[in-house]
Structure 1
Amino acid sequence: MASFDAEYTPLEEIPKIRTELRDTFASGLTLPPAFRIQQLHQLARMCQENKDAIVDALTLDLGKPKIEVFSGEIGPIVDRSLYAAERLREWTRPEKVEVGTAWQKEWDTRLYRLPKGVVLVIAPWNYPVVLSLQPVIGAIAAGCCLVLKLSEVAPHWASLLTRLLPQYLDTRAYRIVNGAVPEVTRALELQWDHIFYTGHSAVARIVSAAAAKHLTPLTLELGGKSPVIIDPASDLTLAARRILYGKFNGAGQTCICPDYVLIPTSAKAAFIAAYKEAYAEFFPNGCLDSDDYASIVNPTHHARLKGLLDRTKGRIVMGGRVGEDKRGRMVRMELTVVDGVEEEDALMEGEIFGPILPILEVRDIDQAIEFVRRRPHPLVLYAFTQDDDVRRKILLRTTSGNLVFNDTYMQLAVKELPFGGVGESGHGRQFSKWSFDLFSYERSYVDVPPHLESGLSHRYPPYDDMAMAIMSAATNMEIPSDEVSGGGVEDLL
């Protein structure tokens, strides 16, 4: 298993890289759809042809099981690169806009979707492939040049991509910056045409402040505490299996991980029993020695998680043990369930980002909804129910970036829907066409034919009564009477 050390990018080189990319963008290299399609194909080839090396890198960095790397990291990039390439000409085609005003009918009105320019993507460590390259797909598809700042917490992936990217993508348009706080700070001092940041809300505030200095548009993919609401009438065995699936992926170190469970008292014991049964089925010899379970990324994060367990006032009813990775390089934490957790508990202070699942009792679904409403808007709200009234109530009375019923984690498999947060969990949307739109801007185009001049002469002074009548016509438009009955929230559904 070869290792390749990627040196940190010298601080003085970062402005030079940005300048070179600005020159490339000005040259028009990335503008033709054929170029973008070819680069998207190359991105797919890079991941496909080096999938074993990527698995090795993520094993070294995160102890990730091979199946998680294939299904959650490499596969989505290959699939979505090809999806974007196939649809790119449709996405970039100018749109003829039909106007409804008679005197504008002969005008040429169009909408163009053009690249924003040179963009900065700041990637995290927890899903290092998909969370670094997914925005790259959007930037390439939109026709942008980009700098990709990789996380120093996943050094083997950073090293591998630093070596591979120049072999597959055009380095006149796409470059990597490696480093830690000084390097990303230097990059943020520069003006970019868009910044895409994935990570923690505390760092997002720093990124936002830096972007504001240049009025740079910004996408924040954050996280937060994504709750699970369980209807006691739902299939608790199914809910337990699917929640456990969402929790063990990446050892819970993912922004869409189900963070805590809100469940009525009447169903709590049965749910915990079902969760234990699912765990015994998935990991018959326990997860600490399983090749199907990831490690905690480093001792700092492990100490943080252990500290949460030490401070909780809840009762550990499953798991709680720690152990070394089989390869002896990392620590692991057992999938853990903590019962009797209260709202002010240590486990509720912030995003857990690990394999700990707090259980909070509620009186009923209404109390669960009110609990969610009192807290910052989550990236994802999960709910298990077959009751249409409960579905409708959760939809209309809560706010979250995504809403998923009767499963966890699998919303990432739907590339035709947008993904992103709201409020504290971020803003902006990505996946497929949404990623293309993110790095594009809509440029309106109007061409007023010269032969229509006679019909526009009333706009020139000196004004007379006829000009006043024509120019003020909109101020006299009839306003329809309002309908005060016959509609409700059902119109939204």
Structure 2
Amino acid sequence: MSCTLQYTPIGDIPRIRNELGAVFNSGRTRSIAYRKQQLLQLCYLIEDNQERIRQAISSDLGRPRNETDFLELSGTLLEVKDAYDNVEKWSAPQKSPFSLLWFSLSPVTRKEPKGVVLIISPFNYPYFLTLTPLSAAIAAGNTVMLKPSELTPASAALLAELIPKYLDPELVQVVNGGVPETTKILELRFNHSNGRVAKIICTAAAQHLTPVTLEVSWRSVFLRFRDLNCDVDFDPGKSPCVIDPKCNAKIAAKRIMWGKLVNCGQVCLSPDYVLVPESFQDEFVEALQNAYHELHPTDPKTSGMLGRIVNERHVERLKGLLDNTNGTIVFGGEVDKEARYVAPSLIRDVKRDDSLMSEEIFGPLLPVVPVKDVDEAIAVINSMDEALNIYVFTSEKKFKSKVMDNTRSGTVSANDTILHVMANDAPFGGFGASGYGYSTGKAAFDEFTHFRCTVDNPNWYDLVEYTAMSARYTPYNSASLQRLVKFLHPRLPPRNGGTSAMTKLWYVLGVAVAGAACTSLAVLFL
């Protein structure tokens, strides 16, 4: 599928932002019925255009058709349908628990839309990482400026064509373009921003105090803003695999190799490197070799079972990582710049300071890093910026707990790769250098929602003489105010963490009353 991506005129971008603001201010998006109708239309946008989406992704990324069906089409449709099914429940006002202190205020939390939101999507999953946050933003009642990645022009052009056909064209407006257009967008004020351009988005958002949700990939930042004079320190988002020698090596290797080669390794959740005990490296490398040959019995360059790198710049970067590694290439190593092909490659005996450990790989290269034991594996992980995900392969609960308890990451997956992003209503997002906020399920809806506390204190409360809160008024009555302060003061547990004497007394009284009641019933019925 070939196409020419039409960039949005830069002068039109502020007008589009203002039009979205006017539509939001009209109150149109407040209606739950309207939101549901738009979400249903978004479902059918995917349902009706599956073949065109497959062709666009094939043109942009060379991704196999079945892989697109499984991860992109199914995953996106599940998320949009989940938002459609739950928008009433997610949007319902929430009453605070009853409290003797504040019952008269009737505190309620309203779930209100933030306003005009900006979604800047990455290239690697041009529909899942675009339409999933879009569905959350619509469910929350916002209007949306949508900026697809210019690195996937066929997908960006298709989105620009389909969205105004299926959705209210005044609800969502697509802006296409490269660095100049994105720069103009970031000059504008939004009520929330979602994207993967990390520090540059945060810097721009700070000018307007705009809250952001980030799934950080420094590679996306570099490619978008390479032509800008920006002082940006790029953070790698390397997701490690920690291997227990007692794990099922065959299954672990197969799941890791599948996760590494999905979308040709261009996945934010891709297993980036493997930490394995030195004594187990030979056995596990052999298991990874066997898994690769099982998954790709014929040459993936010609079989159609492996996608392509998004552009030549990425190919050059990956070739540089391979050329400069001091590890041993077990298989692979081929690079064809013209075909945008980088062969799946396994590299063993990789050191901590190797080129392959210097940045997020975002390609089909898998380094194996030998360590002494799990403690050294944890030390390696903690010496780097926070990963988007940590993969742990073990059948031992203690091993899993040790890794989870002593590391930090956006998510953790035990004994599998990638799939947890598709788990309905499980929050998916980064932590620290790997991003913040959430992009799936109700957690994504909450990102695009303002939680607005409301109270309504009735007049009669001041008409009742000697209510506790009447002591707040001046001129102060010291005795009344002290009673109020004492009433408000929470009862703290003993410093040693034991049970207070009053709690014990109430417990004894409760047991005595219950015993007396049982005795009375026994006498009555026997």
Shorter-chain-normalised TM-score: which range? over 0.9
Name 2:214's counterpart in structure 1.
220
**Structure 2: which amino acid aligns with 1:232?**
P
**Does the CA-based 8 Å contact 2:136-2:441 persist in structure 1?**
yes
SS of residue paired to 1:12: helix
Once residues 477 and 177 of structure 1 are traced to their aligned partners in structure 2, the CA distance between those partners, rounded to angstroms, is: 53
**Does the CA-based 8 Å contact 1:383-1:404 persist in structure 2?**
yes
Instruction: Tell whether 2:250 aligns with 1:237.
Output: yes
**Does the CA-based 8 Å contact 1:138-1:439 persist in structure 2?**
yes
Name 1:61's counterpart in structure 2.
60
Alignment of 1:317-396 (within 5 A): 317-323=330-336, 330-396=339-405
Name 1:139's counterpart in structure 2.
137
**Identity over the aligned pairs, expressed in percent?**
39
Name 2:438's counterpart in structure 1.
429
Residue from 397, 400, 405 that aligns with 2:409:
400
User: TM-score, length-normalised on structure 1?
Assistant: 0.94
Residue from 449, 468, 473 that aligns with 1:460:
473
**Does the CA-based 8 Å contact 1:196-1:220 persist in structure 2?**
yes
Alignment of 1:273-292 (within 5 A): 273-292=286-305
Once residues 222 and 177 of structure 1 are traced to their aligned partners in structure 2, the CA distance between those partners, rounded to angstroms, is: 21
**Does the CA-based 8 Å contact 2:114-2:192 persist in structure 1?**
yes
Name 1:310's counterpart in structure 2.
323
Deviates more, 1:452-461 or 1:85-94: 452-461
Alignment of 1:174-185 (within 5 A): 174-185=172-183
**Structure 1: which amino acid aligns with 2:57?**
L
Using the TM superposition, give the Cα deviation of residue 416 of structure 1 relative to its aligned residue in structure 2, in angstroms.
2.1
Instruction: Tell whether 2:438 aligns with 1:444.
Output: no
Once residues 422 and 171 of structure 1 are traced to their aligned partners in structure 2, the CA distance between those partners, rounded to angstroms, is: 34
**Does the CA-based 8 Å contact 1:191-1:214 persist in structure 2?**
yes
**Does the CA-based 8 Å contact 2:13-2:175 persist in structure 1?**
yes
Which of these two proteins has the greater Rg computed from alpha carbons? 2
SS of residue paired to 2:282: helix
**Structure 1: which amino acid aligns with 2:329?**
I
Q: 1:186 to 1:463 in 2, by over 3 A?
A: same
**Structure 2: which amino acid aligns with 1:403?**
V
User: Deviations along 1:111-135, whole A, 9 cap, x unmatched?
Assistant: 1111000000011111111111111
Residue from 262, 273, 283 that aligns with 1:260:
273
Runs of 4+ in 1 over 4 A off after TM superposition: 474-478
Deviates more, 1:475-484 or 1:281-290: 475-484
Once residues 54 and 495 of structure 2 are traced to their aligned partners in structure 1, the CA distance between those partners, rounded to angstroms, is: 61
**Does the CA-based 8 Å contact 2:83-2:139 persist in structure 1?**
yes
Equivalences, count = 476
**Does the CA-based 8 Å contact 2:41-2:166 persist in structure 1?**
yes
Name 2:201's counterpart in structure 1.
207
Once residues 369 and 181 of structure 2 are traced to their aligned partners in structure 1, the CA distance between those partners, rounded to angstroms, is: 42
**Does the CA-based 8 Å contact 1:4-1:160 persist in structure 2?**
no
User: TM-score, length-normalised on structure 2?
Assistant: 0.88
Using the TM superposition, give the Cα deviation of residue 172 of structure 1 relative to its aligned residue in structure 2, in angstroms.
0.8
User: Deviations along 1:10-63, whole A, 9 cap, x unmatched?
Assistant: 111111001000000000111111111111111110111011011111111110
SS of residue paired to 2:213: strand
| Residue segments in structure 2 that go unaligned for 5+ positions in a row | 218-236, 500-526
| Residue segments in structure 1 that go unaligned for 5+ positions in a row | 487-493
Residue from 156, 166, 169 that aligns with 1:168:
166
Once residues 32 and 457 of structure 1 are traced to their aligned partners in structure 2, the CA distance between those partners, rounded to angstroms, is: 40
Alignment of 1:43-58 (within 5 A): 43-58=42-57
**Structure 2: which amino acid aligns with 1:432?**
G
**Structure 1: which amino acid aligns with 2:135?**
I
Once residues 361 and 168 of structure 1 are traced to their aligned partners in structure 2, the CA distance between those partners, rounded to angstroms, is: 52
Alignment of 1:13-92 (within 5 A): 13-92=12-91
Q: 1:109 to 1:485 in 2, by over 3 A?
A: closer
Using the TM superposition, give the Cα deviation of residue 105 of structure 1 relative to its aligned residue in structure 2, in angstroms.
2.4
Deviates more, 1:298-307 or 1:314-323: 314-323
**Does the CA-based 8 Å contact 1:288-1:323 persist in structure 2?**
no
User: Deviations along 1:104-161, whole A, 9 cap, x unmatched?
Assistant: 3233221111100000001111111111111101101100000011111100111111
Q: 1:161 to 1:477 in 2, by over 3 A?
A: closer
**Structure 1: which amino acid aligns with 2:210?**
T
**Does the CA-based 8 Å contact 2:93-2:110 persist in structure 1?**
yes
Using the TM superposition, give the Cα deviation of residue 323 of structure 1 relative to its aligned residue in structure 2, in angstroms.
4.1
**Structure 2: which amino acid aligns with 1:357?**
L
**Does the CA-based 8 Å contact 2:108-2:455 persist in structure 1?**
yes
Using the TM superposition, give the Cα deviation of residue 477 of structure 1 relative to its aligned residue in structure 2, in angstroms.
5.0
Using the TM superposition, give the Cα deviation of residue 277 of structure 1 relative to its aligned residue in structure 2, in angstroms.
1.1
Using the TM superposition, give the Cα deviation of residue 473 of structure 1 relative to its aligned residue in structure 2, in angstroms.
2.0
Q: 1:485 to 1:228 in 2, by over 3 A?
A: farther
**Structure 1: which amino acid aligns with 2:367?**
P
**Does the CA-based 8 Å contact 1:312-1:345 persist in structure 2?**
yes
Q: 1:338 to 1:17 in 2, by over 3 A?
A: same
Name 1:159's counterpart in structure 2.
157
Using the TM superposition, give the Cα deviation of residue 372 of structure 1 relative to its aligned residue in structure 2, in angstroms.
0.7
**Structure 2: which amino acid aligns with 1:305?**
L
SS of residue paired to 1:178: coil
Q: 1:476 to 1:81 in 2, by over 3 A?
A: closer
Q: 1:34 to 1:151 in 2, by over 3 A?
A: same
**Does the CA-based 8 Å contact 1:234-1:386 persist in structure 2?**
yes
Deviates more, 1:37-46 or 1:457-466: 457-466
Using the TM superposition, give the Cα deviation of residue 98 of structure 1 relative to its aligned residue in structure 2, in angstroms.
2.4
Cα RMSD for the two superposed structures: 1.6
Using the TM superposition, give the Cα deviation of residue 474 of structure 1 relative to its aligned residue in structure 2, in angstroms.
5.5
Once residues 251 and 158 of structure 1 are traced to their aligned partners in structure 2, the CA distance between those partners, rounded to angstroms, is: 20
